[in-house]
């Protein structure tokens, strides 16, 4: 299989410790492929054959190719993903001292498996807001400390004899990372000084920051034949990179091909940069207006549009096969999974299932189906939220993986490649 594509994914993940960095990494690849930036606060001028992108909040992005003018009849082909991940955000005034230890006050973001964050070298990355001449528009800079400066130490088994029998963790007490120790009084704000030193600015210029912890270890291939990808943030950067590859290699001659990567899926998407916002529909309407189309054309185009909602799926776990649906096991090397749920936690129905299955069959791409056990409640994703705003046909798919929401996740490299091929095939129609 395509090991070059897999290594590109590893590089993409490693340069994307936060949603802000993932968006920047997407922009870098789009601009290298001659996609033009559209300023959201300026008028747009578009033309058939053009390739464009726009962003919001430095953490969500839409890229699209105008393949033809007859958008009313040929619609939009949309791939949607997200770039946020479960973990820990650093609180304001985070510095805490316990005896001579200095640690940071953090808050959980999304549904992380807390135990996987212990005893790992951790770093800090995010976005910093700085003073500017415009009080309504602070200057922003991305920051990545890119050093293992934090760790969350476990309590020794001698002091917690029940640790291997299952221990409930308190996010306010048990998961606070240690930064350093000192035998002298600490008056300065160590994190502010660290940010200032990293960005080469003065502490007084820093107004606020969105800062997150991330595992410092790099992504890698593991397994007897390096058949697995072991990396942080596979949910959902693996799907994001597959969608990005698809739009970069778009060959469709019909309608408009579009890639949208949202933020804040892990906490419900209820933000201006999340799927439960007008970001996508507003962008679609602006595109049609810039092409000289009417509002009637918008509704016609949506009726002829289709969305692939791309978020990772669950592999059947080799040590817990009983946790999987008894008639629909999802196995490594068998391709992307179409995600189905009777209560529509996923958008898939028989119509949209048939579309994706048909694409895979026409291109000799294996695929499988994921359904939760009837007595297990699964998660949801951007698909139902975005589709309910747009009112378009949609299918939920995902590269299957193990250890979802762990600090480090696992998937078969072949399945990532199959997913990317399926997305490319979608953008060839």
Average pLDDT, the chain: 96
102-130: pLDDT as tens digits:
999 999 999 999 999 999 999 999 999 99
Banded model confidence at residue 167, pLDDT cuts 50, 70, 90: confident
Predicted pLDDT at 302: 97
Residue with tokens 């951790």: 122
pLDDT of residue 315: 98
Query: Which pLDDT value is given to residue 380?
Result: 82
Domains of the chain in start order, with CATH, are: 3-85+232-426 (3.40.630.10), 87-215 (2.30.250.10)
> Is 44:293 a contact under the CB 8 Å cutoff?
no
Provide the pLDDT confidence category of residue 1 given band limits of 50, 70 and 90.
low
pLDDT class for 277, splitting at 50, 70, 90? very high
pLDDT at 216 over 90: yes
Prior bond to 236 cis, omega within 30? yes
Task: List Cα–Cα distances, 136 to 129, 130, 214, 374, in angstroms.
Answer: 12, 12, 30, 50
Determine what percent of the chain is predicted with pLDDT higher than 70: 100
Q: Is the dihedral of CA 161, 163, 169, 171 positive or negative?
A: positive
Which of these ranges, 162-171, 222-231, 294-303, has the smallest mean pLDDT?
162-171
Q: What is the CA radius of gyration of the chain?
A: 22
Q: Please give the order of strands across the beta sheet that includes 228-231.
A: 220-222, 228-231, 409-412, 400-402, 313-314
By mean pLDDT, which of 95-104, 111-120, 182-191, 242-251 is the weakest?
182-191
Instruction: Kindly state the average pLDDT of the residues 62-83.
Output: 98
Residue 379 pLDDT > 90: no
Q: Is the pLDDT score of 3 beyond 90?
A: no
What's the predicted TM-score (pTM) here? 0.96
């Amino acid at each position: 299989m395509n090991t070059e594509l897999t290594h590109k994914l590893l590089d993409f993940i490693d340069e994307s410790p936060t949603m802000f960095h993932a968006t920047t990494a997407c922009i870098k690849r789009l601009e290298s492929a001659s996609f033009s930036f559209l300023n959201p606060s300026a008028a747009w001028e578009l033309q058939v054959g053009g390739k464009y992108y726009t962003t919001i909040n430095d953490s969500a992005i839409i890229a699209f190719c105008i393949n033809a003018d007859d958008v009313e009849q040929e619609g939009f082909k949309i791939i949607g993903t997200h770039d946020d991940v479960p973990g820990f955000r650093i609180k304001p005034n985070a510095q805490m001292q316990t005896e001579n230890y200095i640690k940071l006050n953090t808050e959980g973001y999304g549904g992380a498996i807390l135990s996987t964050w212990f005893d790992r070298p951790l770093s800090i990355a995010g976005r910093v807001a700085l003073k500017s001449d415009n009080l309504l528009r602070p200057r922003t800079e991305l920051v990545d400390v890119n050093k293992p400066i934090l760790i969350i130490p476990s309590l020794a088994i001698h002091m917690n004899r029940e640790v291997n029998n299952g221990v409930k963790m308190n996010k306010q007490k048990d998961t606070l990372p240690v930064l350093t120790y000192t035998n002298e009084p600490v008056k300065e704000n160590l994190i502010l000084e660290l940010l200032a030193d990293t960005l080469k600015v003065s502490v007084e210029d820093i107004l606020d920051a969105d800062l997150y912890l991330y595992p410092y270890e790099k992504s890698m291939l593991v397994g007897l034949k390096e058949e697995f990808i072991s990396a942080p943030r596979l949910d959902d950067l693996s799907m994001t990179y597959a969608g990005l590859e698809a739009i970069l290699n778009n060959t469709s001659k019909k309608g408009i091909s579009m890639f949208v990567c949202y933020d804040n899926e892990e906490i419900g998407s209820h933000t201006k940069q999340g799927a439960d916002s007008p970001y996508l529909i507003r962008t679609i309407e602006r595109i049609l207006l810039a092409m000289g189309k009417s509002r009637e054309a918008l509704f016609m185009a949506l009726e002829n549009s289709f969305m692939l909602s791309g978020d990772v799926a669950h592999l059947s776990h080799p040590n817990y096969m009983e946790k999987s649906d008894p008639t629909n096991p999802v196995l490594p090397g068998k391709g992307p999974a179409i995600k189905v749920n009777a209560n529509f936690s996923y958008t898939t129905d028989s119509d949209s299932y048939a579309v994706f299955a048909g694409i895979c069959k026409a291109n000799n791409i294996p695929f499988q189906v994921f359904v939760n056990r009837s007595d297990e409640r699964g998660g949801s994703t951007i698909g139902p939220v975005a589709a309910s705003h747009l009112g378009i046909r949609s299918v939920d798919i995902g590269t299957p993986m193990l250890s979802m929401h762990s600090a480090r996740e696992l998937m078969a490299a072949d399945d990532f490649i199959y997913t990317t091929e399926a997305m490319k095939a979608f953008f060839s129609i």
